[in-house]
Amino acid sequence: MHWLDWIVIVFYFALIGWVAWWYGRHQRDSIDYFLAGRNAGWVVIGASIFTSNIGSEHIVGLAGQGAATGMAMAHWELHAWCLIVLAGLFVPFYYKSGVQTIPEFLEKRFSARTRWILSCVSLVAYVFTKVSVTVYAGAIVFQALLPDIALTVGGQTLNAFWIGAFTTVIVTGVYTVFGGMRAIMSTATPQAVIILFGSAVITTIGLARLGGWGELVAACKTNAANFALWRPLSDPGFPWLGILVASPIVGLWYWCTDQYIVQRALSAKNLATARRGALFGGLLKVWPVLIFLVPGMIGWALHQKGIIQLPLKPGTADIDGDQVFPSLVRLLLPPGIRGLIVACLLAALMSSLASLFNSSASLFTVDIYEKLRPGQSERHLLTVGRIATATVVVLGIIWIPVMARISGGGLYQYLQSVQGYLAPPITAVFFLGLFWKRINSAGATWGLAAGFVLGMIKLTIQAFFGKGKIESPTWLAAIGDFNFLYATGILFAASAVIIVVASLLTPPPPEEKIRGLTYGSIHQEAAEEIRASWDTANKVMAAVILLLVLGLYLYFSFWLG
């Protein structure tokens, strides 16, 4: 690291600290802290959606997947179309109901029990997947760029990995605790610019060193079976049918029903702005394949040509995918630019973690604490929200050692497989609940609970049983090795069947309970406002998103011949 790099990084941290202090002075109540006072504009909302999604696990993990599996994971990064579904179908329900959290919406539609189930599972999922994965990816970057840094505390030596992990989590936690959603959303736009610009720079420089896009295509053609977007049904990792089944289930859950993302749209000043903000987030979401996944393939091609030497997995000749992006930063970039890219990674890490911390705090405060202790003052709830945020920070740090052991090869693939076991029951409950008024609280409760239990059973068996693990009894090993894509589809089907059967075996919900909370009823009550909010500008943005996604799919479906 050159002194110019350090100047850029220190300036970035100073700016973030000032923003947190400035906006922290103006937190008045829980609406301010969790939803930025419901006064955000569409550019800020879209940028915040993008930066909340794009964490260091995307930049590091996607580059690693690009080097290891080519375009296989691109399907999860072409989910910009899901934001059209969010803007077109879901935002009117969430916004008109006036909720602060997605579990709160489930309570309005079904019951308090379904709200509790979703809140608790979401909190556990945030701590054990998103926090740990994001921090782990950020710590890998620090380890690659500053390998010689060490600190001795109480006789124990902390290496660059742990110093990076602790520093970023603590700094992000502090600015989230004091700045709340206003600080997060105010820094979202410049962070989005830094992330896009920084990743575009490394892609451009990498392609220049390689000799251009044609050289990358030629290199990937030598390993076309492993770099193709679509794989045959015989492919053990990414069969095309499994992709078509699992990817939309995870995408619709994440982009349309996850508090972590939807909270940004709920901060809008009106319904039209909320929809436009979601669509602007979709426009930004189109680009990660080109600026995060493609650099991994560039790194692989540079390594194959002997232009650079990438780290290998211990005892093998395989590239360590999670080290690809930080290695490109270290090996390709000049001083100053390197600092900018590190600032880009810090922006991604801190924005993603800050959004996660705040969403976790809002889930605990609004969905759990207020239910246990109703009638508390807004100042008291604000304090509880900050304590909850700090608790999530601590739990994220505690989980890092376990995450470091189980992440294995392919951080991004690990994340998607775990989400594939969490998403199906939630996706089923929301879609059935919105489009079929016969679904009741009993069906939603049984579907959510049973789906989560089945998903955790699959995840637990997969962790211990299978090839290279415990191979007896064979039926448990077969379940452990069963493809995660097909497992996601089976979990979705099982959850949907349980929801429908349980609902039909119990009385239907009363009309007054579901009024304004199903597709048909809300369009009867607020048809004019909903129609007006889907204006020409929003329609144009939706069309552009679809054309861009379709264009990327068409090109990469045939790019290797």
User: Does residue 372 sit within a domain?
Assistant: yes
pLDDT at 351: 66
The SS3 of residue 470 is strand
Spatial CA neighbour of 285 closest among 76, 469, 19: 76
Q: How sure is the predictor about 186, in pLDDT bands with cuts at 50, 70 and 90?
A: low
User: Does residue 544 sit within a domain?
Assistant: no
pLDDT in tens, 218-254: 999 988 888 899 999 998 888 999 999 999 999 999 8
User: Does residue 51 sit within a domain?
Assistant: yes
Q: How sure is the predictor about 540, in pLDDT bands with cuts at 50, 70 and 90?
A: very high
Neighbouring CB atoms inside 10 A of 473's CB total 10
pLDDT in tens, 390-411: 777 777 777 666 555 544 446 6
Q: What is the CATH number of the domain that holds 159?
A: 1.20.1730.10
User: Does residue 189 sit within a domain?
Assistant: yes
DSSP 560: T
Contact present, 433 and 256 (Cβ < 8 Å): no
What is the number of domains present in the chain? 1
Cα 151 to chain centroid, rounded: 32
Q: What is the DSSP string of 459-523?
A: HHHHHHBSTTSB--SHHHHHHHHS-HHHHHHHHHHHHHHHHHHHHHTSPPPPHHHHTTSSHHHHH
Place of tokens 């550019």: 43
User: Does residue 19 sit within a domain?
Assistant: yes
Domain that holds residue 404: 3-408
Instruction: Specify the range with the lowest mean pLDDT, choosing from 141-145, 245-249, 254-258.
Output: 141-145
What are the CA-CA distances from residue 139 to residues 117, 131, 326, 359 (Å)? 32, 12, 11, 22
d(CA 29, CA 451): 36
What is the rounded average pLDDT of the residues 475-500?
Answer: 94
Instruction: Specify the range with the lowest mean pLDDT, choosing from 48-52, 150-154, 482-486.
Output: 150-154
In the chain, % of residues over pLDDT 70? 84
d(CA 31, CA 77): 31
CB-based contacts of 49, cutoff 8 Å, min separation 6:
83, 261, 264, 265, 277, 278, 280, 281, 284, 285
What are the CA-CA distances from residue 535 to residues 91, 94, 282, 520, 525 (Å)? 14, 19, 17, 20, 19
What is the rounded average pLDDT of the residues 143-167?
Answer: 71
User: Does residue 508 sit within a domain?
Assistant: no
User: Does residue 292 sit within a domain?
Assistant: yes
User: Does residue 185 sit within a domain?
Assistant: yes
d(CA 275, CA 85): 10
In the chain, % of residues over pLDDT 90? 27
pLDDT at 75: 93
Instruction: Specify the range with the lowest mean pLDDT, choosing from 52-66, 180-194, 506-520.
Output: 180-194
What is the rounded average pLDDT of the residues 32-49?
Answer: 68
Between 53 and 21, name the one with better pLDDT: 53
Contact present, 286 and 106 (Cβ < 8 Å): no
Mean per-residue pLDDT of the chain: 81
CB-based contacts of 408, cutoff 8 Å, min separation 6:
414
